[in-house]
C-alpha cells in the first residue's frame, strides 16, 4: 500500500427508517451525492446479533486492520479488475449510528481506489462482526 490509511473517529446521528417494501430494513447511514443518495441498511436480525460496544471502553470489537483486510478481500472477490490494477485503501472512518428505534451501532466506512491508469473510487461499510454492507443508490431526498 503506497498510502497509509487514516482513521477518523466521529459520531453520526442518523435516524433508522423502514421502507414500505421491507419493514425489517434499518437504514443506519445515508450520504447525499447530488441527485442520488447512498443508503446503507441491514435487517433487524443482523442488527440484533452485532457485538455491543459503547465507544468508551477498550477497543472496538473489530480492529481497523481487520476491517481493512475484510474490505480488501470483499472488493477483490467482487472482481471486475485487471490483473495489473492496484487496489489501495485510502481511508477508514469509525462511525456511530443512533436512531429512534434503538439502533446504536458502530461501523467502519472504508474508502478505496483501484485501477492503474484510470482510478475508480468507492466505499463500503464493515460492521463490527465483519459483515460487509454495500450501498444502495436511491433518489435524493428533496428539502421542502
Q: What is the full per-residue pLDDT of the chain (144 aa) written as tens digits?
A: 333 333 333 333 333 333 334 568 888 888 887 788 888 899 989 988 999 888 887 899 999 999 999 999 998 888 777 666 788 899 999 998 855 445 678 999 999 988 766 677 888 999 999 999 988 888 887 665
Helix, strand, or coil (residue 49): helix
Domain count, the chain: 1
Buried b (16+ CB within 10 A) or exposed e, 92-103: bbbbbbbbeeeb
pTM over 0.85: no
Classify residue 118: in a domain, yes or no: yes
**Residue 1 in domain:** no
Is 73 within a domain?
A: yes
Tell me, yes or no, whether 61 lies in a domain: yes
Does a structural domain hold residue 16? yes
> In the block, which residue shows the cell 443482523?
46
Rounded distance between C-alpha atoms, residue 96 and residue 9, angstroms: 9
User: Domain of 19?
Assistant: 7-139
Residue 66 domain-assigned (yes or no): yes
Quote the cell numbers at residue 45: 436480525
| Gap between the Cα atoms of 98 and 12, Å rounded | 7
Amino acid at each position: 500500500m503506497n498510502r497509509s490509511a487514516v482513521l477518523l473517529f466521529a459520531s453520526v446521528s442518523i435516524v433508522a427508517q423502514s421502507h414500505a417494501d421491507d419493514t425489517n430494513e434499518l437504514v443506519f447511514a445515508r450520504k447525499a451525492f447530488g441527485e442520488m443518495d447512498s443508503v446503507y441498511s441491514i435487517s433487524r436480525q443482523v442488527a440484533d446479533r452485532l457485538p455491543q460496544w459503547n465507544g468508551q471502553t477498550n477497543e472496538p470489537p473489530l480492529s481497523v486492520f481487520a476491517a481493512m483486510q475484510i474490505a480488501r478481500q470483499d472488493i477483490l472477490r467482487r472482481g471486475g479488475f485487471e490483473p495489473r490494477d492496484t487496489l489501495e485503501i485510502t481511508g477508514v472512518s469509525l462511525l456511530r449510528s443512533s436512531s429512534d428505534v434503538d439502533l446504536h451501532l458502530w461501523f467502519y466506512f472504508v474508502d478505496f481506489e483501484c485501477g492503474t491508469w484510470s482510478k475508480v473510487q468507492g466505499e463500503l461499510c464493515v460492521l463490527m462482526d465483519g459483515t460487509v454492507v454495500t450501498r444502495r443508490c436511491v433518489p435524493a431526498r428533496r428539502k421542502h
